[in-house]
Amino acid sequence: MTPLIDRARRSAPVASRIVAALFGGYALAALGSVAALALPMSKPQAVLTGMLASFAIYAGAVVWVFAARNALRAWAGLLAAAVPLAAAAWSVW
């Protein structure tokens, strides 16, 4: 194996986590902000609640991604969190 490929192989997990944190985290936060629309309150309040909470979701997701034991678990955790949020978001689609 050439050193370059070897290096790519070794840095793939961390690259995967960075992508999971930056984009996966944002996607989860965005999904959360939409899921908030399912809350029993008026539309503007629900919209604002979603926005307000989204940054906490994002930060939590990033911390999770780097705390998880490996990159696969990091992604799996994000997906697991996304399922109920997606269900809530679906209900108001």
Partner 1 sequence: MKTDNVMRDKAQRPAGRGIRQSMSGLHIWAGLLMGWILYAMFLTGTVSYFKDELSQWMRPELAHQAELPDPALVAQRIADELVASVPGSPQWSMRLPDARTNSVYAFWRTAPGGSGAEGGRRAFGEASFDPATGGKVTARDTLGGDFFYRFHFQFHYMPALWGRWIAGAAAMFMLVAIVSGVITHKKIFVDFFTFRGGKGQRSWLDAHNALSVFGLPFHFMITYTGLVTLMALYMPWGEQMAIRTQAERQQMTAELNAFIQPGKPSGQAVPLASVAEMVRHAQERWGHDNVGRVTATNPGDSTARVAVARGESGRVSMSPQYMLFEGTTGRLLETHESVGAAAETRGVLYALHLGRFSDGVTRWLYFLVSLMGTAMVGTGLVMWTVKRRQKLADPERPHIGFRIVERLNIASIAGLSVAMTAYLWGNRLLPAGMAERAAWEIHLFFAVWALTLVHAVLRPAKAAWIEQLWAAAALLALLPVLNAVTTDRPLWHSLGQGDWVFIGTDLMCWALAALHVVLALRTARHRPKLRAAPAKERGGVIGGAVEEGR
Q: Helix (H, G, I), strand (E, B), or coil: what is residue 15?
A: helix
Q: How far is the CB of 84 from partner 1 (least distance, A)?
A: 16
Q: What is the CA radius of gyration of the chain?
A: 16
Please say which residue, 67 or 80, places its beta carbon nearer to partner 1. 67
Q: How far is the CB of 80 from partner 1 (least distance, A)?
A: 19
Residues that bind partner 1 (CB under 8 A): 10-14, 17, 29-30, 33-34, 36-37, 41-52, 54-56, 58-60, 62-63, 66-67, 69, 92-93
Amino acid found at 28: L
| Residues 61 and 27 sit within 8 Å (Cβ to Cβ) | no
